[in-house]
C-alpha cells in the first residue's frame, strides 16, 4: 500500500496504523509474515472510518482480535488487518428486572469480563473462564470450555459492515454453532463476514464468593492440564462430533512430543501444537498435516482445524 493512501487514511482516522507489520507480533503462536497494513482503531467511529475508507480503495480486510486462535502463513496477509482489540470502552451495565444487561465492546478481554462478572456476582459466564483473547474473537469462534457457549448470554451483536455501516443485530440474525458464529448464514471464513464491534449480554444475579471460587478452581484445573508456557493457539483441532476427543485420538497414536523444526505436539496436551521458539507457520502446518493423516489412517476420523488459518504462502 502506497504512502499517499496511508496519509489519506491518517488524515481522517485517529488509531494505530503500521505498514508491513509482522503478524508474529500479534498472534499467540508468535508466527506469521507481515500484513500490508495493520490498523488498530481506538473507537467505534474510528473503526467505521477506517473500514469504509479501505473498502472504497478495494483493499481486502481481515478482522482480528488478540490473535489467540490465528495461524498466519509465513507470506503474511494481503491488504489490511483490522485489529479490534483497541475497542474497550464504554462497558456499560443496566438492569431489566432481575436481569443484568452488559453492553460490552469487542476489544474487552474475555478473561477481564469473566473476572469482573464473578466479582460483581453476575452469573452466566462460567463457560468462558480462562479463554484468552477478546470478546469479538470469542463470539466469532463461539469459544467455550463447555458444551454450551455464547448463545446462552448474547442478546444482540453490533457489527460494522464492510461498507463502514454500523448495525445492531437481534438474535434471529445470527446463530452460534460449535466453534462458529454465523451472521446471515456467513461465518468468519466468508469474505462478507462483518467486524464485530460490541455485544449485549444478559446475565443473572449470583453469589460473588461462590462465582469467584468456581472461577479460581476452573483456572487452576486449566493451568494443570494445558501447556501455557509455550506459544500456541490453544486446541489445534475441533473435537469430533462423536467418540474420543481429538486430544485422546492423537495421544493414543503416541504422537505427543513429535516435532518438525520448531513446531511440536505438546507433551502435556496432545491437541496443542506449540512453538518451541523458532517455528514457522509452515512447520506448524506440516506437523498438523501429519497428525491429520495419521489419525485418519489409523483411527478413521477426519480431524478439522479449530485454529483459523489465514494469509498467503511464503
Ligand X SMILES: Cc1cc2nc3c(=O)[nH]c(=O)nc-3n(C[C@H](O)[C@H](O)[C@H](O)COP(=O)(O)OP(=O)(O)OC[C@H]3O[C@@H](n4cnc5c(N)ncnc54)[C@H](O)[C@@H]3O)c2cc1C
Q: For binding to ligand X (CB under 6 A), which residues are involved? A: 28, 62-70, 84, 106, 110, 131-134, 136-138, 140-141, 143-145, 188, 195-196, 226, 228, 232-234, 308
Rounded CA gap, 1 and 82, in Å?
15
Is residue 195 within 8 Å of residue 82, measured between CB atoms? yes
Active-site residue (options: 73, 162, 179, 215): 179
For ligand X, the closer CB: 206 or 234: 234
What is the nearest approach in angstroms of ligand X to the Cβ of residue 68?
Answer: 3
For ligand X, the closer CB: 70 or 281: 70
Strands (DSSP E) found in 41-134: 61-64, 70-72, 77-83, 92-96, 99-105, 122-123
Active-site residue (options: 235, 258, 283, 292): 235
For ligand X, the closer CB: 143 or 279: 143
For CA atoms 291, 294, 298, 300, give the dihedral sign.
positive
What is the nearest approach in angstroms of ligand X to the Cβ of residue 11?
Answer: 25
What is the nearest approach in angstroms of ligand X to the Cβ of residue 114?
Answer: 12
Our CA dihedral for 106, 112, 115, 116, rounded to 10 degrees, sits at -70
Residue 306 a catalytic site member = yes
What is the nearest approach in angstroms of ligand X to the Cβ of residue 87?
Answer: 8
Is residue 83 within 8 Å of residue 61, measured between CB atoms? no
For ligand X, the closer CB: 120 or 161: 161
What is the grid cell recorded at 133? 483473547
**Residue 127 to residues 132, 229, 242: CA-CA distances in angstroms?**
13, 23, 21
**Three-state DSSP class for residue 243:** coil
| Residues recognised as catalytic | 179, 235, 306
Amino acid at each position: 500500500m502506497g504512502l499517499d493512501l496511508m496519509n489519506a487514511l491518517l488524515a481522517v482516522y485517529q488509531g494505530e496504523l503500521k505498514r508491513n507489520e509482522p503478524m508474529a507480533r500479534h498472534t499467540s503462536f508468535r508466527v506469521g509474515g507481515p500484513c500490508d497494513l495493520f490498523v488498530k482503531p481506538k473507537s467505534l467511529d474510528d473503526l467505521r472510518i477506517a473500514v469504509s475508507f479501505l473498502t472504497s480503495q478495494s483493499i481486502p480486510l481481515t478482522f482480528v482480535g488478540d490473535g489467540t486462535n490465528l495461524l498466519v502463513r509465513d507470506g503474511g496477509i494481503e491488504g489490511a488487518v483490522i485489529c479490534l482489540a483497541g475497542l474497550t470502552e464504554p462497558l456499560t451495565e443496566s438492569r431489566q428486572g432481575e436481569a443484568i444487561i452488559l453492553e460490552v465492546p469487542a476489544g474487552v478481554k474475555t478473561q477481564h469480563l469473566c473476572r469482573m462478572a464473578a466479582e460483581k456476582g453476575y452469573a452466566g459466564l462460567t463457560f468462558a473462564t480462562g479463554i484468552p483473547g477478546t470478546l469479538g474473537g470469542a463470539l466469532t469462534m463461539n469459544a467455550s470450555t463447555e458444551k454450551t457457549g455464547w448463545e446462552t448470554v448474547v442478546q444482540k451483536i453490533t457489527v460494522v459492515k464492510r461498507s463502514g455501516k454500523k448495525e445492531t443485530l437481534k438474535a434471529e440474525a445470527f446463530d452460534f454453532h460449535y466453534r462458529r458464529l454465523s451472521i446471515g448464514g456467513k461465518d468468519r471464513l466468508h469474505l462478507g463476514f462483518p467486524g464485530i464491534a460490541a455485544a449485549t449480554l444478559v446475565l443473572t444475579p449470583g453469589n460473588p464468593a461462590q462465582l469467584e471460587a468456581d472461577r479460581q478452581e476452573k483456572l487452576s484445573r486449566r493451568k494443570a492440564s494445558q501447556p501455557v508456557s509455550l506459544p500456541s493457539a490453544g486446541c489445534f483441532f475441533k473435537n469430533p462430533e462423536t467418540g474420543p476427543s481429538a486430544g485422546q485420538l492423537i495421544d493414543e497414536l503416541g504422537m505427543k512430543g513429535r516435532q518438525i523444526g520448531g513446531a511440536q505436539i505438546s507433551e502435556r496436551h496432545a491437541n496443542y501444537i506449540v512453538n518451541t521458539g523458532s517455528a514457522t507457520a509452515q512447520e506448524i502446518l506440516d506437523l498438523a498435516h501429519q497428525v491429520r493423516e495419521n489419525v485418519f489412517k489409523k483411527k478413521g476420523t477426519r480431524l478439522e482445524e479449530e485454529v483459523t488459518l489465514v494469509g498467503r504462502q511464503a
